[in-house]
Chains A and B, each alone.
Chain A
Amino acid sequence: MNKIPVYLITGCLGAGKTTLLNHWLAGPELKSKRIALLINEFGDLGVDGQLLPDDAGTVFELNRGSLFCACIRSDFEATMHAIADQVRPDLVITEATGMAQTSDLFSFIETPATREQFEIACNVCVIDALNFTKVLPTLKAVASQAIWADGLVINKSNGLNTDQVDKLSSLLKDLNPRAKQVRFGSENFGWPFVESLHHVPCTDAPLQAPPAEVVACTINGRDFDRAAFQTGFEQIRGRLLRMKGIVNFGDGPRLVESVFDSLTERPYTANNPRYGLTVIGWKITADEIRSALHPAVTPPVVTIGLQ
């Protein structure tokens, strides 16, 4: 008996997984296929029912309050069995929760009970270009999904300039050199892209923490010396992913923001601003970031005790 191929879509909530899924379903390649959708997400379903072939009975949704733990595994397995028994689809597309680590999803699908009936065909991760670097130092799942993807679809790149998208692309290449990359909305991000991917199983244990190369730190302080800040920024700009915060260069609170190596600032008008900068770097240590930016804080940051 041929195994049923499973196509996995991962990516953060809001990255555009459902939009991508709807795009695939609307394409000619899947029109004649019998498809089962397994939606593992909280919040709205958002799948365009009219795009689904035959009937709505092919959509399976996992609904669990304690979604975040091992409990989901039993629901997942039970649903896979139901799909195999009731639908016998040509293929399954699973839209995973943004909180799931890829290794867990693989282990759910490849249990002794289900591996006779299913096989993972490929694993596509949707990257939210605007927010990926913001959450990368925080969420283990975001890194895990990008690292173990067979293909990466870069979405929401409209808010970035070409240079910034290229830098994101190169960051992703660094994280996952083997994954094929494609931009959302380009000509070739439809189903043929999925079919062209080469699947490599995820064999590693789940991540314990975000990648060590990603570092986030806070620079506390209200008053900054502009010239010293510029000097410090130049020292680290090639290794910055994001920076954001409110500082006072002597002319009132200003919102300072950096995406990769660009730097923008504008007056901050809300009351009671909370001063300080949050900085996310790539292949740099928190100490190097602090050494570069602390001299700009006035009065200077004094470190007491041994480092």
Chain B
Amino acid sequence: MSTSTNLSVGGKELVHAAINGQRTDRAPWVPFVGCHAGALLGVGADEYLKSADLMHRGVNLAIDRYQADGIPVAFDLQIEAEALGCELRWSTDTPPAVVDHPLAQDTPLDQLKVPGPNEGRIPIVLDATRRLRADHPDTALYGLVTGPFTLALHLQGTDIFMRMFDDPESVQRLLEFCSDVAIAMSRYYIEAGCDVIAIVDPMTSQIGPDQFHQFVTPYAKPVFESIRTSGGLSSFFVCGHAQQNVEAMCQCGPDNVCVDENIPLDFVRDTCRDNQASFGGNLQLTTVLLLGSPEDAEKNAVQCLAVGDNTGFVLAPGCDLPYATPPENLVAVGQLVRDTYRQEAVMAMSESADVQDIPDMSGYGQGDHVIVDIITLDSESCAPCQYMVEAVEKIAPEFDGIVRWREHKIKTPEAIRFMTSLSVKNIPTICIDGDIAFVSRIPPKDELSAAIQDRINQKARLRIRRHQSEIHILGQNTGDTIAIKDAVDQAVLETGADVVVHLVTDPLDFIRFGVEPDETPALVTTRNQVVSTERVPDSMAIKQWVQSLQ
């Protein structure tokens, strides 16, 4: 069941509005799919990140599957570094790692040139961008560019931190060069069709605000100015413990600031709003998206959406999604952003997480009536809940006197306890005699009717089985035993009794009935009452025993 609130507005338009700080009907959803798309295609990150075809197919798949409003073309902060001569070590399930640093190997800075659009893997990503642009005119495409500070670290190694003291001038020249690279890369992405350029500079989380102002701001600012001049939108992505720098990030002039779970989202919202920037984030990558369930992802998303308040906010993970992220977790987020009822339900259910005294419902629904429970948010305010209640209400007269139905609005602690005890996780849900029957789907009349009828039949069968009697005839497969069997069958036929007759010939089983092998043939009734041993009883007597079982 989907209750889209934005049928007329495309994802791209939503992303544009949110990044421009406007109020939107709902928050746009931008899953940061990088090498994870390789997992969707069943290929390793090392293969995926080297192929325009795979990126094109993988991102296409992710857009459709996750209902993305926006998406990065690639998430690989080593593309520029590789084009500038850094050696990479490739892995199957992570982006590559930079393993050597040309400037630390005595390559002078003036030998490095800003890479052209055809160097390294840049043409691959640009090719994928153009193809995706053609396929998805209504989806916002993000071009991810390595931030100047992080690129400088790739080129120089961590030695750069010592040089900040020993030779700050050389660090500043390097950062100027990295800034030029970021400006060029931004231009290539915009020309290829990207809507948003994200400057991804995670290494800046390592430093404090003083150093940020000195070594980041002067080099990031021109990049954001250039993106604006080129007609693109911009975002500043920093993951890690970067809370101290959020204000300084805003002051670099991006349209949007995006962070990960290490920074409280409300802090980012307030700081960004004070500085006229929109914001984004910060679904938890590991504990929720990678290791959690779809319910965990929904709960986390609802918390982020509440902070974002549909105003200048983009819902996104804080960083590159891990390769092995379970797709169902991202599917759940894609559905949730479009379903306000589901959001309300998840919010109500997250409040129920600490409910105590869950009743034992193992004996629920064993009475004569069939009980239909409808777990709703509130049928008076939630349309899908209302339709589900009406569906049950409409059909109930057909089962008058047999079916009882009730609505449980999860706005009360009792209803939440009830819902939890039946393991209901989605709203609305129909349970029949305590078993979950229809989840977030209004059943057609016939289907609901059939489900209830099935339960009625099931109960009737159980009732009959409970009342059914049994006779066991114990003995070797000899004439006497067969004679008893025949007499019993005849008596059942003549009396019309509801009795099942079993022949037990294995001596090891005799003992179960308290009969020794030398006491056979024997006849045992339902209540394990041994009524005859070592003889063939009179057929009239058998008939009386059979009758007594009714």
Contacts and interface: CB of A to CB of B under 8 A. Distances in A.
Q: Which of A42, A44, A113, A207 has the most CB of B within 10 A?
A: A42
B158 A12 contact: yes
A42 B94 CA distance: 14
Interface string A98-118: 110100000000000100000
Given A42-B97, A42-B99, A68 B161 contact: no
Given A64-B97, A131-B162, A70 B240 contact: yes
Given A65-B98, A209-B209, A278-B168, A13 B244 contact: no
B241 A138 contact: no
Contacts of B285: 70-71, 73-74
A210 interface: yes
A27 interface: no
Contact of B208 (A12, A210, A280): A210
B94 A141 contact: no
Given A67-B97, A141-B206, A135 B161 contact: yes
Contact of B239 (A13, A68, A134, A139): A68
B260 A138 contact: no
Interface string A69-101: 111011101000000000000000000001101
Contact of B169 (A43, A64, A70, A274): A274
Nearest to A99: B206
Nearest to A42: B97
A139 B78 CA distance: 22
Nearest to B262: A70
Contacts of B261: 70
Interface residues of A, number: 42
Nearest to A144: B241
A238 interface: no
Interface in B70-124: 76-78, 88-89, 91, 94-100
A208 B159 contact: no
Given A134-B166, A206-B241, A280-B165, A66 B319 contact: yes
B263 to A, nearest CB: 10
Nearest to B201: A68
A210 B76 CA distance: 29
Contact of B244 (A43, A131, A209, A280): A209
A12 B160 CA distance: 12
Given A43-B100, A68-B240, A69-B319, A14 B286 contact: no
A71 B150 CA distance: 16
Contacts of B164: 134-135, 138
A113 B291 CA distance: 11
B290 interface: yes
Q: Which of B76, B166, B240 has the most CB of A within 10 A?
A: B240
A216 interface: yes
B202 interface: yes
A74 B291 contact: yes
A64 B99 contact: no
Contacts of B161: 12, 134-135, 138-139
Contacts of A98: 158
A71 B98 contact: no
B203 interface: yes
Q: Which of B88, B159, B318, B322 has the most CB of A within 10 A?
A: B322
Interface string B254-298: 000000111000000000000000000000111000110000000
Contact of B162 (A77, A135, A206, A208): A135
Contacts of B76: 65
Contacts of A44: 99
A69 B202 contact: yes
A140 interface: yes
A71 B241 contact: no
Nearest to B150: A68
B97 A71 contact: no
Given A69-B240, A70-B261, A216-B210, A134 B203 contact: no
Interface string A189-225: 0000000000000000011111000001000000000
Nearest to A104: B241
A244 interface: yes
A242 interface: yes
Contacts of A12: 158, 161
Contacts of B382: none
Interface in B1-59: none
A14 B158 contact: yes
B147 to A, nearest CB: 11
A68 B203 CA distance: 7
Contacts of B239: 66, 68-71
B206 A43 contact: no
Contacts of A42: 97-99
Nearest to A13: B158
Contacts of A206: 241, 262
A65 B77 contact: yes
A139 B94 contact: no
A65 B208 contact: no
A101 B158 contact: no
Nearest to A279: B165
B529 interface: no
Contact of A74 (B99, B165, B244, B290): B290
A260 B128 CA distance: 55
Interface string B235-246: 000011101100
A216 B285 CA distance: 35
B214 to A, nearest CB: 8
A14 B290 CA distance: 33
B320 interface: yes
Nearest to A12: B158
Interface string B460-471: 000000000000
Interface string B187-227: 00000000000000011011111110000000000000000
Given A44-B99, A244-B165, A244-B166, A63 B260 contact: no
A65 B320 CA distance: 10
A213 to B, nearest CB: 13
A71 B206 CA distance: 16
B165 A242 contact: yes
A134 B158 CA distance: 13
A75 B94 CA distance: 9
B152 to A, nearest CB: 13
Contact of A70 (B88, B162, B211, B260): B260
A274 B78 CA distance: 32
Q: Which of A12, A67, A69, A74 has the most CB of B within 10 A?
A: A69
9 contacts: A63-B97, A64-B97, A65-B77, A66-B320, A71-B319, A74-B285, A113-B291, A207-B241, A216-B210
Interface of B: 76-78, 88-89, 91, 94-100, 150, 157-159, 161-162, 164-166, 168-169, 202-203, 205-211, 239-241, 243-244, 260-262, 284-286, 290-291, 318-320, 322
Please list the 9 inter-chain residue pairs (A to B) with the smallest Cβ-Cβ separation, ordered nearest first.
A209-B208, A69-B239, A65-B95, A134-B165, A13-B158, A208-B244, A274-B169, A68-B202, A64-B94
Given A70-B286, A77-B286, A141-B206, 17 more contacts: A12-B158, A63-B91, A63-B94, A65-B77, A68-B202, A68-B203, A68-B205, A68-B239, A71-B94, A71-B239, A71-B319, A71-B320, A206-B262, A207-B241, A244-B166, A278-B165, A280-B165
